Structure 1
Amino acid sequence: MTDARSLVVKPWVKRYPVDGGPATLVFPHAGGAALAYRSLGTALAKAGSDAYVMQYPQRGDRLSHPAPASVGDLARDLFDAGDWAALGPVRLFGHCMGAVVAFEFARVAEREGVEIDALWVSASEAPSTVAAAPDLPMAQNEIIAEMVDLGGTDPRLLDDDDFVELLLMAVRADYSAFNRYACDADATIAADIHTLGGDRDHRVSEDMLRRWETHTTGAFTLSMFDGGHFFVNDHTAEVAELVNDV
């Protein structure tokens, strides 16, 4: 296993290294920046994972990078950001849209001979169900309403015009790619899939999480936590320990 300090990755990949620990790659939700997952990255490192949080284009230090045309293109872009094979078996963690991006990352990785140990799915619909769902909104007022409904964004920030402008850029880039996404029902990865959800999440139900089982030829588990769509923010240490223990 490669020493985390010697692994070459793109500078926009945020690292929380633990030398000798298993690698966990984190994929943010739609519109989410890597900085929003600093607490999870830190918790994963504390639990023993060598954590890497991905940064998508059109935000943070990738503000000038063009928006991906598709989720597949985004997954490939993130795969090309580092020599992940050097880390040994890799774990993936994705929240909401990030779980679908992580799934497509796993498909690329497995085709390229990179071993994916497990995919952790947090608050996400299954890939094969995305195309049948209503398109995500692109108008400003609808996006803001979506952010309020989902939670996870400090409402005070939505009164800041500069913040809203940057948020809209990131969200539209992700939503546009996600609205074009389609996945066959029989598309699978060899990696185990472990799903996590909030018992009060009004957007992603336990039944929706269970549909991920069809996308793995390995093991499948489901764990529910107290909370809503962003339950992870209230259970960061517990989630990190769970990811590191399995």
Structure 2
Amino acid sequence: MTGLDALTFKPWIKRYPADVSARPTLVFPHAGGAALAYRGFGTALAAAGSDAYVMQYPQRGDRLTHPAPATVAELAEDLFGAGDWAGIGPLRLFGHCMGAVVAFEFARVAERRGVGIEALWVSASEAPSAAASAPALPMAESEILAEMVDLGGTDPALLADEDFVELLLMAVRADYAAFNRYACGEDVKVATDIFAVGGQGDHRISEDMLRRWEVHTEGAFTVSMFDGGHFYLNEFTADVAELVNDL
């Protein structure tokens, strides 16, 4: 980022601007995910007509030394404080897996601060109330790596690289620890519309699970399903970007 962007947004927010003035879409990665992993999606959003801003969580990438927030709510506050979101107009939010819950909490912060949220896209994620009551996520190295293999989305060759695994474990543990402390009741809602999206072949998050997001909005709700598994987004990057931008 340069010029005004450099003054109003933290440098670790990765921006992919559209060729012409466009509505902003903020992207929230999955647990353990770095902003770099969403470069393709950010580029696709820009090509579809969105100004994309990909969030970077602490304990990875250029935030490697930043302390991990203790809770998802603290992470959302951290991300909200990283940019002049009120200055770029109504926001669209897109979160994948754990990132959907982070985006939900970001929307709650934004609505309390008077920043308009145009839409919340939640991808391959349990609803907040369901996530809060789910069993604790694993913290042991062997269990985390088994989880990564089961979810897919990570190159198996990278999981054989000790240096990569060390960094991955740092990021995942930070996110899982915050997620394990998460609390949210079914009565907690955002005013913005929620659009759920997932993969037909996702063995972790079913369409019925996605539909539980409906209780968390005071607005409209829809579900869209693509072929593919938990990381269907990697296969249908351009299609999902078009879906988000067509709103």
Q: Same-fold call, TM > 0.5? A: yes
With the shorter chain as reference, the TM-score category is over 0.9
Q: Which residue of 2 aligns with 1:209?
A: 210
Give secondary structure in 2 for the equivalent of 1:155.
coil
Show structure 1 runs of 5+ residues with no match: none
Alignment of 1:147-226 (within 5 A): 147-226=148-227
Alignment of 1:20-169 (within 5 A): 20-169=21-170
Separation of aligned partners in 2, 1:63 and 1:205? 33
Separation of aligned partners in 2, 1:208 and 1:178? 18
Q: Which residue of 2 aligns with 1:9?
A: 9
Counterpart contact for 1:201–1:228, Cα < 8 Å = yes
- The normalised TM-score by structure 2 is 0.97
Counterpart contact for 1:89–1:117, Cα < 8 Å = yes
Counterpart contact for 1:5–1:17, Cα < 8 Å = no
What is the Cα deviation at residue 130 of structure 1? 1.3
What is the Cα deviation at residue 131 of structure 1? 2.2
What is the Cα deviation at residue 6 of structure 1? 2.8
Separation of aligned partners in 1, 2:91 and 2:133? 31
Separation of aligned partners in 2, 1:183 and 1:234? 31
Structure 1 residue ranges, 4+ long, deviating more than 2 angstroms after superposition: 4-7
The residue identity in structure 1 corresponding to 2:132 is A
What is the Cα deviation at residue 146 of structure 1? 0.2
Give secondary structure in 1 for the equivalent of 2:83.
coil
Separation of aligned partners in 1, 2:134 and 2:185? 14
Separation of aligned partners in 1, 2:229 and 2:131? 20
Show structure 2 runs of 5+ residues with no match: none
- The normalised TM-score by structure 1 is 0.97
Separation of aligned partners in 1, 2:235 and 2:27? 17
Stretch moving more, 63-72 or 12-21? 12-21
Query: Deviations 1:26-45 (Å, cap 9, x if unpaired)?
Result: 00000000000000000000
Separation of aligned partners in 2, 1:81 and 1:184? 27
The residue identity in structure 2 corresponding to 1:211 is R
Separation of aligned partners in 1, 2:70 and 2:183? 13
RMSD of equivalent CA atoms: 0.9
Instruction: State how many pairs are aligned.
Output: 243
Give secondary structure in 1 for the equivalent of 2:157.
helix
Give secondary structure in 2 for the equivalent of 1:58.
coil
Give secondary structure in 2 for the equivalent of 1:75.
helix
Percent identity between the two aligned chains: 75
Separation of aligned partners in 1, 2:64 and 2:105? 23
